[in-house]
Amino acid sequence: MLLASSRSGRPGAFGAEAGVKGPVASSSRISDALLVAPPFPWLRPSIFANLRRSPQGVTLRADPHCHTIASDGMVTARQLVAAAVAAGLDLIAITDHDTMAQAFGDYEGVTVVRGEEITTRWPAQTHVLGWFLEKRVPTGMSIEDTVDAIHDQGGLAVIPHPFMPTYFGSIQPSMLRRLIEKHQVDAIEMMSTVPMGRRRREQLEVFYSRNRERLGAAVGASDCHFGAHDIGVVITNYHGDFRTAIELGTTKPERVRPRNVPTGVVLRQQWRSLVQLPLRRLSGQL
Ligand SMILES: [Zn+2]
Ligand SMILES: [Zn+2]
C-alpha cells in the first residue's frame, strides 16, 4: 500500500534528490522550468490523502502512460518521477516509444512500472502499450503478435488512445474487432488527452460495453510528454495493488484538469516526435 505519509516526511527532498534544481535554475525559460517543477509546490501529496478515502480505503491515482527523452518526451525519467511526486500520484508507467532506455525505480512513494509503447507493423503502425515488462518488445510485428509477445514475458497488454480519427498509430474499430476474436487485452484507455469527437467517443463506449470481457479494465492516462505540464491530467483511480486492480477490472478513469502546455514547448515536442524520432528509427537507434 502506498500511503502519502511515506513520502511527505521529507519536505524538500525531491528537488535535491531528483536533481531537478539544476535544470530549473539554469533555465531562463519559464516554460522549461515548468517541465520539471510542480505547478503548485505548496500542495504536497499528503494534503490529498484524507480527501481520497472511499469505502474501499484510500483511492490511489495512476498515470500509466508517460514518455521521456528516451523517445519523444521532453523530460528525463528522473524529472518525470519528480513531477509525479509533486502531482500526488501513486504510480506511473514509463512507456517510451520502442525503447525501455529510461528505466527508473520506485521513488518517494511513487511506484514506477516498466513499460513500452510498441509500434506495430507498417502501414498502420498502431500503438500497443506493454506494462510490467522485463525486456523490450520488438517493433514492427502484427498487433496480435505484439500482444502475444507482451503476455509471453508476463506483461499486461493495453490499447492506448483507441479510435482516434487518424489511421496511423491508433487502433480502429475493425482492427480491434479482429484482434479480440482470438486475443484478449488487459486494459484499454477509455479516457486520454487525444482530441476525439462525440461520435467516436460514443462508438468507443458502445464497443467497450459490448466487449468488456475481452478488453479488460477501463483506464485513463495523460500520454504525458511534458513532465509537470501534463502529468496527472487524466488518471486511473484504483484500490490496493495496481496490477490486481487491472486484472479484476476495478479501475476507474478520471479527467482531472485540462492539459495546458505552452505553444513553444508543444512545437519543440512535435519536432522531436515527427522528425527526430522517425530519423532515429530509420538509423536503427530505436
Ligand atoms: Zn501512442
Ligand atoms: Zn504515448
The tens digit of pLDDT for each residue in 160-216 reads 999 999 889 999 999 999 999 999 999 999 999 988 899 999 999 999 999 999 999
Ligand nearest to the CA of 159: 1
Of 35, 36, 30, 25, nearest to 82 by C-alpha is: 36
Question: Pseudo-torsion of CA 231, 232, 235, 241, nearest 10°?
Answer: 90
In this prediction, residue 208 carries a pLDDT of: 98
Residues ≥6 apart with Cβ < 8 Å to 267: none
Tell me how far apart the alpha carbons of residues 127 and 181 are, in angstroms, rounded to a whole number: 19
Contact at 8 Å (CB) between 179 and 145? no
Cα of 139 vs centre of ligand 2, distance in Å, is: 15
Cα of 53 vs centre of ligand 1, distance in Å, is: 32
Contact at 8 Å (CB) between 177 and 203? no
In this prediction, residue 52 carries a pLDDT of: 66
Task: List residues, by chain if needed, whose CB lies under 5 Å from ion ligand 2.
Answer: 117, 223
Ligand nearest to the CA of 119: 1
Q: How far is CA 99 from the centre of its chain?
A: 14
Question: Pseudo-torsion of CA 190, 152, 113, 244, nearest 10°?
Answer: 70
Residue owning grid cell 528522473: 78
The reported pTM is 0.81
Of 241, 227, 259, nearest to 78 by C-alpha is: 227
Cα of 5 vs centre of ligand 1, distance in Å, is: 34
Radius of gyration of the chain (CA): 18
In this prediction, residue 14 carries a pLDDT of: 34
Q: Please, how many CA atoms are within 13 Å of residue 41, restricted to the half-sphere of its CB?
A: 10
Query: Hey, what domains does the chain have and what are their CATH numbers?
Result: 13-282 (3.20.20.140)
Low-confidence ranges of the chain (pLDDT < 70): 1-55
Ligand nearest to the CA of 66: 2
Ligand nearest to the CA of 160: 1
Cα of 195 vs centre of ligand 1, distance in Å, is: 13
Cα of 32 vs centre of ligand 2, distance in Å, is: 21
Q: How far is CA 45 from the centre of its chain?
A: 19
Residue owning grid cell 487485452: 185
Question: Pseudo-torsion of CA 87, 88, 91, 97, nearest 10°?
Answer: 0
Cα of 248 vs centre of ligand 2, distance in Å, is: 24
Contact at 8 Å (CB) between 93 and 65? yes
Ligand nearest to the CA of 164: 1
Ligand nearest to the CA of 126: 1
Ligand nearest to the CA of 222: 2
